[in-house]
Structure 1
Amino acid sequence: MKPKTIGKNLRKFRVSKSLTLEELAVLLEVEPQVLIEYETKRKYIPYNLGIKIAEVLEFDPYFIGIDVLLDRKVTRNVFAPLSFKSKFTPFRFMWDFLKSMFGAVKKKKQDISSNIIENQLFSLEENSSSPFVFLRISFLLLGVAFLAAWAENIVIANLALSLFVPLGFMWFLFEAHHPRIIRGFELIKYFLYGGLISIIIVLFIRGFTGYIPFPIIGDLLTGLIEELAKILTVIFLVRKKLIKNPLEGILIGFAVGAGFTAFETTMYGMNELLTNLDMFEMIWIILLRSFYDLIGVGHHFWTGILAGVVVMISKSGHLKMRDLRNPVFFFWYILLATIHGLWNYNSSMPLTFVIALFSLILFILFWSKVSIDYKLQVALEKERLNDNLIEIESIESEEKVIEQEMTETNEDHQE
């Protein structure tokens, strides 16, 4: 971050707290001239002073050029994203999760809060431990697509069908994680902006590389370009956001990939329509792609994994370009780009399902690993909080006893 930007941010946060330079200097126990230099003379702020300023003004020190390292080791083990204490752990997790999911389908209407969608969009409050809003979104999009096709409204039918799987699947994952770690409104933003920006990056790169006529080489290059474009988009969109948990990275990456999937499927559908001049051919190609997107092959799965890996190897929780130099990321980038390229190249139906199954299992294992770690972290934080409360109560009771003893002693002296 440039010193000029640091100075502007420092001034913005100071003004937001209605503090003058002199008042802030008193709180920080420094001379006002020091703060003037940082705000106007384009100087970097020392680490310790930067941390103190961020605490006083209550903002993320990243905005004044201070990266606070997270309390965790950065792994260089390429298989760390799939490491479990027990080989049965992911299966137990998925079994419990599926029971929760199907329990949502049987949920009684009176159990559903009327403001749950509003809370999911704008709040981190918990309303339910079972995902079910995604079903409403999916059925709504299917209904709109059916009515649009019946009315021969090609554009609406194309859009609704293209959104059906990626948007519904994204909301399913969003509802499935607890406690809530991100707001639904943010996820929709990443879905829309991420899909558009990543497609623009792909088209820009394609302007230089073109399409290589050799099938396998061209398909592998496509995988490398598109996976790179999406992860660059993720880093750009979250450049000012602190992401401490890989689960949040998966959700954001999944949203960006789902947006890419939706827009790409729309383009495939329109190409089919313009080629064959048949709306039902367009609907068929969109449904076929949606089926594959559902069973394991899709940008949402691959970008979700990659974004989660980048968060896992980030030292500060602020994703940066330098994180892409980590060998763990490089391994997963090459692996997923290769899966992507082989999928594009493959024309054999049995091999199609093998690739889809491998991709789906890979995502489920990684998502299970991250979700289990997140739940464990939340449980440990609650336990630590309870211990602190017990300790505070113990100290308060001791103080009351001491105060009572002193009162009794004073009364004895007075007698």
Structure 2
Amino acid sequence: MKKSVKRIGSHFFSLVWTGVRRNYDNLDDNIAKHLGESEPNSPVEIHLSRMLSEVFKRHTRDEADRLFIVGTKSTTPSLLKVSSRPVTPWFFTRVFLVLAISFVMLVALLFVFKSNKVIPGIIFIGSLAVPFSLMMMFFEINVYQNISVRQTMVIFLVGGILSLIVTMTFYLILPIRTEVSIESALIVGVVEELAKCVVIILFINTYKANYIFNGVLIGAAIGAGFSVFESSGYVSEYGLVTIFTRSFQAIGTHAIWAAVIGGAVILGKVRKKPFTVRDFFTKPKFFIFFLVTVCLHTFWDWDIPNTGIGVSLLQEFIDIVIGWFLIFVMIDAGLREVKTLQGQQIIIHRSKQKKIVNKR
């Protein structure tokens, strides 16, 4: 029995990993044949391990400013000029640092000077710090640079609130119980991920987004908005201490899950066409990622009977690891999409071996 379960699990993760890396049914093969300034045999290397290599380096103000001058007709690069190098976001850590310092200063005002007037600020900054920083990371990762800061903020605010409205609408329809059972956790997971998915699809179709990195950014912005407003709301129910836990737990929750769904929507839809209701039920490359996010959400919310804080922390750790694994899958798929559209060659590094896949 154990061998059978292990075999099924191994097959599942193999399907997730290879399915995204090998299948490009949603790409127009004719584009790959006609694009690309480099030689057709010029190799492209993908090293996801370099992702954080720029974080601890010094960067100028001009470098930071250039990150935000994107998304307009005059600043959106053509597909030929889209960066094909491994993504190396760094500015998001500066955003987090500023928000974290602000949070600490507000907490100091509360406990040192006994100023209750700073409580709203603590709630807002505490809820904002991690989700907003993650959104900025995905903004940097969007190598197509075709979504502006203004559009991102609209998605963050409007999309985040709209996803909460859709969630509450679903809650009126479905029977939600307050008990901490696996059934209730599953219903919450389905409702909230489906609500975010509906809003993500709405924005992807409205913006006519066609690239994986676009979907990931749109999803992350909506998930970040959802996370900020939800965490702020929990304070009124469970007290101010809630913000000290939920603020940093956000590293592996709504923003990450929604980013995965956003990338999956792009993987599932027909290129240059909107995502349809039929795509939702008939595209395995979308549906499998959606189901995984529902499972992750369910596992996060489920209080396993007769267990303590140690098991709960282990659940969260497992959730975060799997969630970020899926993010790296999406980043890998997004980089390969660029190579495919540019008609370049991809080299996969596996320990001491190099497997070459020619895109012809």
5+ residue gaps, structure 1? 1-76, 86-90, 274-281, 382-415
Question: 1:109 aligned to 2:109?
Answer: no
Number of the residue aligned with 1:367:
331
Aligned ranges for residues 190-229 of structure 1 at < 5 Å? 190-213=155-178, 215-229=181-195
Higher relative contact order (CA 8 A, sep 6+): 2
- Give the whole-Å Cα distance in 1 for the aligned partners of 2:296 and 2:64: 42
Number of the residue aligned with 1:131:
89
Tell me the percent identity.
21
Amino acid at match of 1:254: A
Higher mean C-alpha deviation, range 176-185 or range 354-363: 176-185
- Give the whole-Å Cα distance in 2 for the aligned partners of 1:220 and 1:132: 36
Number of the residue aligned with 2:104:
146
* Of 146, 161, 183, the match for 1:181: 146
Contact 2:160–2:223 at 8 Å: present in 1 too? yes
Q: 1:231: how far off?
A: 0.8
Number of the residue aligned with 2:214:
248
Number of the residue aligned with 1:96:
50
Aligned ranges for residues 5-404 of structure 1 at < 5 Å? 79=16, 82-84=19-21, 93-99=47-53, 101-102=54-55, 105-109=56-60, 112-113=62-63, 115-116=65-66, 118-120=68-70, 123-124=75-76, 130-149=88-107, 150=109, 151-152=115-116, 153-213=118-178, 215-273=181-239, 282=240, 284-294=241-251, 297-315=252-270, 316-328=272-284, 329-346=286-303, 348=311, 349-378=313-342, 380=344
Q: 1:353: how far off?
A: 1.6
- Give the whole-Å Cα distance in 2 for the aligned partners of 1:174 and 1:293: 17
Q: 1:94: how far off?
A: 1.6
Amino acid at match of 2:334: V
Q: 1:184: how far off?
A: 2.1
Q: 1:170: how far off?
A: 0.9
Instruction: After superposition, give the CA deviation of every residue in 1:30-49 in whole Å (9 maximum; x if it has no partner).
Output: xxxxxxxxxxxxxxxxxxxx
Contact 1:346–1:352 at 8 Å: present in 2 too? no
- Give the whole-Å Cα distance in 2 for the aligned partners of 1:300 and 1:81: 24
- Give the whole-Å Cα distance in 1 for the aligned partners of 2:65 and 2:323: 36
Q: 1:378: how far off?
A: 4.0
Q: Secondary structure at the match of 1:98?
A: coil
Q: Secondary structure at the match of 1:239?
A: helix
- Give the whole-Å Cα distance in 2 for the aligned partners of 1:132 and 1:327: 34
Instruction: After superposition, give the CA deviation of every residue in 1:211-262 in whole Å (9 maximum; x if it has no partner).
Output: 2255110100100011110010112223332222122111111111111111
Contact 1:249–1:308 at 8 Å: present in 2 too? yes
- Give the whole-Å Cα distance in 2 for the aligned partners of 1:293 and 1:257: 10
Residues 217 and 192 of structure 1: CA distance in aligned 2, closer, same or farther (over 3 Å): same
Q: 1:324: how far off?
A: 0.9
Q: 1:379: how far off?
A: 6.2
Amino acid at match of 1:124: T
Contact 2:70–2:147 at 8 Å: present in 1 too? no
Residues 246 and 132 of structure 1: CA distance in aligned 2, closer, same or farther (over 3 Å): closer
Q: 1:359: how far off?
A: 2.0
Residues 237 and 373 of structure 1: CA distance in aligned 2, closer, same or farther (over 3 Å): closer
- Give the whole-Å Cα distance in 2 for the aligned partners of 1:357 and 1:80: 15
Contact 1:251–1:304 at 8 Å: present in 2 too? yes
Q: 1:313: how far off?
A: 1.8
Higher mean C-alpha deviation, range 128-137 or range 258-267: 128-137
- Give the whole-Å Cα distance in 2 for the aligned partners of 1:365 and 1:333: 14
Q: 1:299: how far off?
A: 1.3
Q: 1:78: how far off?
A: 6.3
Q: 1:192: how far off?
A: 0.8
Amino acid at match of 1:357: V
Contact 2:139–2:217 at 8 Å: present in 1 too? yes
Amino acid at match of 1:139: L
Number of the residue aligned with 1:278:
none
* Number of residue pairs matched by the alignment: 285
Residues 360 and 113 of structure 1: CA distance in aligned 2, closer, same or farther (over 3 Å): closer
- Give the whole-Å Cα distance in 1 for the aligned partners of 2:138 and 2:146: 12
Higher mean C-alpha deviation, range 214-223 or range 320-329: 320-329
- Give the whole-Å Cα distance in 2 for the aligned partners of 1:305 and 1:108: 29
TM-score (norm 1): 0.61
Q: Secondary structure at the match of 2:47?
A: helix
Amino acid at match of 2:176: Y
Task: Give 1 or 2: higher helix fraction.
Answer: 1
Number of the residue aligned with 2:356:
none
Number of the residue aligned with 1:412:
none
Q: 1:272: how far off?
A: 2.4
Residues 157 and 351 of structure 1: CA distance in aligned 2, closer, same or farther (over 3 Å): closer
